[in-house]
Homo-oligomer: A and B are copies of this chain.
Amino acid sequence: MQQFSFVQRYDAYKQAVETALTALIPNPLPHTLYEPMRYTLLSGGKRVRPVLAMLACDAVGGNGMDALYAGIAVEILHNFTLIHDDIMDAAPVRRNRATVHVKWNESAAILSGDGMIAIAYQTLLRSPDLTRLRELIEAMNIGIIEVCEGQALDLEFQDCSTIDLPQYFRMIDKKTAKMLELAVKVGGIVGNGSGTQIEALCEYARTAGIAFQVQDDWLDIAADASKLGKTIGGDILEGKKTYLIIKALEQRDSLPPQDRALLDEFLSKRGLSAEHIPAMQCLFEQNGVFASARAEVEKLTREAHNALDVLPDNAGRTLLHEFATMLLERTH
Which A residues are within 8 Å of any B CB, using their own CB? 29-30, 32-33, 80, 84, 87-88, 106-108, 110-115, 117-119, 121-122, 125, 130, 133-134, 137-138, 140-145, 148-149, 151-153, 155-156
Q: Taking the nearest CB of chain B, how far is it from the CB of A23, in angstroms?
A: 17
- 10 extra interface residue pairs, beta carbon distance < 8 Å, beyond A115-B148, A118-B141, A118-B142: A88-B106, A110-B110, A111-B151, A111-B152, A115-B145, A117-B144, A118-B145, A122-B145, A125-B134, A137-B137
User: How many copies of the chain does the oligomer comprise?
Assistant: 2
Asked if residues B110 and A138 are in contact (CB atoms below 8 Å), the reply is no
Q: Taking the nearest CB of chain B, how far is it from the CB of A152, in angstroms?
A: 4
Residue of B nearest to A84 (CB): B110
10 CB contacts below 8 A, A to B, read A33-B149, A33-B152, A111-B152, A115-B144, A118-B144, A121-B140, A121-B141, A122-B142, A125-B137, A137-B137
**Which residue among A33, A88, A148 has the maximum number of chain B CB atoms within 10 Å of its CB?**
A148
Name the B residues within 8 Å of A87 (CB-CB). Answer: 106-107, 110
* Assembled-state Cα–Cα distance A331/B117 (Å): 37
* Assembled-state Cα–Cα distance A59/B133 (Å): 28
Residue of B nearest to A117 (CB): B117
Name the B residues within 8 Å of A153 (CB-CB). Answer: 30
* Assembled-state Cα–Cα distance A88/B108 (Å): 9
* Assembled-state Cα–Cα distance A141/B153 (Å): 28
Residue of B nearest to A130 (CB): B134
Name the B residues within 8 Å of A142 (CB-CB). Answer: 118, 122
Asked if residues B141 and A122 are in contact (CB atoms below 8 Å), the reply is yes
Residue of B nearest to A136 (CB): B137
Q: Taking the nearest CB of chain B, how far is it from the CB of A39, in angstroms?
A: 15
